[in-house]
Structure 1
Amino acid sequence: MPSYAICPLSNVPIRSNSSDKSEIVSQLLFGELAEVLETKGRQWAKIRCIWDNYVGWVAANQLKAITPSELSVFREHFAYSLELFQPLMADNEVIPVVMGARLPNFDGMRFALDNTVYTFSGQAVFPEHIKPSAEFILKIARRYLHAPFLHGGRSPMGIDAAGFIQMVFKIANIALPREAAQQVYIGTAVDFVEQSMPGDVAFFENRTGRITHCGIILPDAEVIHAFGSVRIDKIDHYGIYDRSEKRYTHRLRVVRRMLKTEATPKQVKRRVSGHIPNQVELF
């Protein structure tokens, strides 16, 4: 019979191998669920993340085993924390959680886990109350502004480009894969960046043509993305333009629309004449 686990800590590293020295490839946030595929001694568990099927290794003492019946309840009944940081309060303990953490079987004020009752007094949202929209996507995205870049990160304490996209859309109740090279196959293509709308996702390629970066389109020909930190830059048909360095940093490959067609805010404007000088460094 398969075994399952829940993340009982603020955030937990998922590694490429069963070693503290191996690369951090993703993270589990509080309340997220996983299937345990195999174990290595008592120290390591190879897991498959329930929400995106991502596979990696987690220290066994950073997981809490749950039953199949608990898994069923926790999958269907939960809320997302919308607070950048907020403590869970219990009688004798405090657990800080970050935005996007899952509050299992939350009743609007509290929930129980492992016979401990936790109170959450911050802002939270139930998936069934979410109506995905460009406005909601942009509000969530902007909350991550200035979060430091961290390869494998998925929290305001540290986040990478694909993790940023995944988390914003996850909170909006839209499931996306973990990697940019997988996310690019979701949604519908937008023919030209000038036709893109706020909430669309732009994907960028390296010199070999591999998708390595992504960001969310904002109004006024801007994009919010994780590069050094979550930041806002200009975008046009070439790619992302860093105004402070006066150069392009990422080459645009394609724009994808993840949201269903709706009455969205006005389309992203064409770049303002004179915004980008004629003589600039291209990538």
Structure 2
Amino acid sequence: MRAEPADRAEQVSQLLFGECYTILNTQGNWLQVELATDRYRGWIDQKQHTPVTAAYFQEWKESRHPRVLDLLQVVKGQEAVIPVGIGNYLPFFDGQHLRLNEQLLQFNGRAANAEAVSPVAELVQVALSFLKAPYQWGGKSVFGVDCSGFVQQVYGVCGYQLPRDAYQQVEAGEEVHFVAQTQPGDLAFFSNAEGRIIHVGLLLENQQIIHAHGEIRIDTLDHQGIYQQDRKRYSHQLRIIKRIING
């Protein structure tokens, strides 16, 4: 998904397999879309568009869909084998098949239960699955992910829908006032010199934080911010910590 209808335009986010969206506008071969999950907007090339019926779209919006748990798996159809990664959607999955419009596709991998809200331990395990994934601005997959895309996908796999960007995510949950009071699964937000939220990471045990900075990595959090032991310096200035769920 791009900021403008052009291949050279900034990537602002990504569409994952199985996601639905509304078309807002067209310009040449480009479609401006709004995701049904978080209402995020961007432009996609028309070649990436797969139309669905109005009935399917409505049913999709009214349902909760399992997400892929394996780092990489495939969905098999009669004419194609489609790679899918962790966090991708499995619409109307019955344990063996998923449905895209009227087409049934087979999936034999691990899927998160769409109806269950996972405990904190599972949230942390999903986060750790992304370790060493490369940083990519606007990315939401294990092949390239940014800080807020990482947090959104980890929570999404575990049954929580968060907004797309860090400045939106900071509005969720309740404030944790001291770093020493943090729990695994808490979110720490970081600001620039102007006070704007520019980064987010997920807390682990012992004030460790997993976040996207060059890659998905684990560093230490204190009252000042993120300290990178390997570089002997702080990389981000702490602004606020929020608790989305209680462990």
TM-score range, shorter chain: over 0.9
What letter is aligned with 1:87? V
Alignment correspondent of 1:140: 126
Q: CA deviation at 1:114?
A: 4.9
SS in 2 for 1:231: strand
Q: Is the 8 A contact 2:187 2:200 kept in 1?
A: yes
The separation in 1 between residues aligned to 2:98 and 2:201, in whole angstroms, is 34
Runs of 4+ in 1 over 4 A off after TM superposition: none
Please state if 1:131 is matched with 2:117: yes
Q: CA deviation at 1:61?
A: 1.5
SS in 1 for 2:236: strand
Q: CA deviation at 1:82?
A: 0.6
Please state if 1:166 is matched with 2:190: no
What letter is aligned with 1:126? N
Q: CA deviation at 1:19?
A: 0.4
What letter is aligned with 2:83? P
What letter is aligned with 2:136? L
In structure 1, runs of 5+ residues without a counterpart are 1-13, 265-283
SS in 2 for 1:136: helix
Q: CA RMSD in A?
A: 1.2
> 1:42-82, CA deviations, whole angstroms, 9 ceiling, x for partnerless residues?
x1111111111111111111011112210122231532111
Alignment correspondent of 1:85: 72
Q: Is the 8 A contact 2:65 2:93 kept in 1?
A: yes
The separation in 1 between residues aligned to 2:224 and 2:203, in whole angstroms, is 14
How many pairs are equivalent?
A: 246
Q: Is the 8 A contact 2:56 2:101 kept in 1?
A: no
> 1:184-226, CA deviations, whole angstroms, 9 ceiling, x for partnerless residues?
1111101111111111000011122111001001101100000
Alignment correspondent of 2:143: 157
Q: Is the 8 A contact 1:77 1:106 kept in 2?
A: no
Alignment correspondent of 2:13: 26
The separation in 2 between residues aligned to 1:56 and 1:136, in whole angstroms, is 31
Q: Is the 8 A contact 2:182 2:207 kept in 1?
A: no
Q: CA deviation at 1:40?
A: 1.4
TM-score, length-scaled by structure 1? 0.84
Q: CA deviation at 1:105?
A: 1.5
Q: Is the 8 A contact 2:12 2:138 kept in 1?
A: yes
Alignment correspondent of 1:175: 161
What letter is aligned with 2:212? A
Structure number having the greater strand percentage? 1
